[in-house]
Each structure stands twice: as C-alpha cells, then as structure tokens.
Amino acid sequence: MEENKKVKLTTKIIILLSVVIALISSYILIFVELPNKPLSGQGGALSEDVEIGGEFVLTDQNGNKFSSEQIKGHLSLIYFGFTYCPDICPTTLNKLSNVITTLEKYNIDILPIFITIDPDRDTPALLKEYLSHFHPKFIGLTGSAADLKYVADLYKVFYTRSQTSENLNNYMIDHSSFVYLMDKRGKYMKHFYMNSSEQEIVEYIRIHK
C-alpha cells in the first residue's frame, strides 16, 4: 500500500515536471526565439521570394470598413496583437506611440495600425477604448476569424490560442511580435523586433522615408 502511494507520488511529480518543462520551452520558443528570428523563406534569412503584406478589407474601431488601399499614400507601421495581452502588446504600442511623436517633430507622416488576432473578444468598441490609451493616430482593425487569419498569413504572423482555465473566454494568445514598416505604396520595407529600440526605428524611417 505504502509502495503504491510512493509510485503515485513519483508519477505525479514526473508529470508536473514535464508540464513545467513544456511550458518553459513554449515560452522560450514564442517570446524569445520566434519574435527575434528574421522572417524567412528557407535558411533563416528574409529572402527576396518571401512576399510580406497584400490586399485586405477589415473593420476599424469605429465599425467602418477599412481597406488596405487606405494605407497607401502613407508610411505605415503595422502590428498584430490583442487587447487582453498583458505585457508585450501594450509595451510595443507605447513604444510605437513614442516613435510617432518623435517622427512628427521631423514632419514625417506615418500611420500606425493595430490588427487584432483575437476576433472573439476584440470588438470595434473594445479596440477603440483600448487604443485611446496610446497615440491618437492609431487605427485598430478587427474582423472574422477567417479574415484575420488571412491577413496574418499575408504578413507571416504566427499565433496560437493557449487555454488557461476551463472558462472558454479565459485564454491567452501566443504570437510573434514583429512591427512591419510599409512604404507609401503599401509595400513591405522592413520589420522590427520586440527588442528594437525607439531610436533604431526612428532613425531607419528618417533615412529611408
């Protein structure tokens, strides 16, 4: 009897350790390796045959249809995330807000766009309230799950839902955290990483605008 208890306890410990190791590995892959790897075709480098961006139609934070055509004529910074994100998304949006404020001092017009990857919770109204905490130029976009998946694929964005409890509405989303710089034709110029500094982004845009 005592031996059975020891076996059960040992089994539980092994299972618990396996779960912890899996969670740590997932965190390293998603938040350390993936966000800081170059986008790639093959071999880990951004190759010329990898096309980033494309045409799409979504819904903005005011409930109006927003087309990728409306981006043209402006430089734009595009970021994919979700309003329930506890740290990476608000940190990135705050950084981009500071970048835009700095660029305004140099009379550089740039359009910041936040595209949600959480269509089940991020309604236009919620996006509007969330983005009110950042630069007023921000445009928030949402849509159906299929539409958002289509746009995410255009930009080579990785994301996956991670259930944290039995409550179906209580979940996190693991996602890549690139910021995409698009030119005035709506064509891809460069992507920045989670650890790219405000100064790095500002200087690149000032030189290549």
CA distance 56 to 113: 13
pLDDT for 169 equals: 77
- Domain contains 178: yes
Instruction: State whether 76 and 31 are in the same domain.
Output: no
Instruction: State whether 11 and 78 are in the same domain.
Output: no
Instruction: State whether 21 and 105 are in the same domain.
Output: no
Instruction: State whether 20 and 118 are in the same domain.
Output: no
- 10 Å CB burial of residue 63 (0-12, 13-18, 19+) is exposed
CA distance 131 to 180: 18
pLDDT in tens, 31-88: 444 444 444 333 233 444 578 999 999 999 999 999 999 999 999 999 999 999 999 9
Instruction: State whether 92 and 182 are in the same domain.
Output: yes
- Domain contains 50: no
- Domain contains 158: yes
Instruction: State whether 71 and 134 are in the same domain.
Output: yes
187 vs 167: which has the higher pLDDT: 187
pLDDT in tens, 95-142: 999 999 999 999 999 999 999 999 999 999 999 999 999 999 999 999
- Domain contains 41: no
CA distance 118 to 140: 12
Domain at 69, CATH number:
3.40.30.10
The pLDDT confidence band at residue 166, using thresholds 50, 70 and 90, is: low
CA distance 175 to 52: 17
pLDDT for 167 equals: 66
Instruction: State whether 88 and 164 are in the same domain.
Output: yes
pLDDT in tens, 73-98: 999 999 999 999 999 999 999 999 99
Range of the domain at 70: 57-208
Handedness of CA 35, 40, 42, 46 (dihedral sign): negative
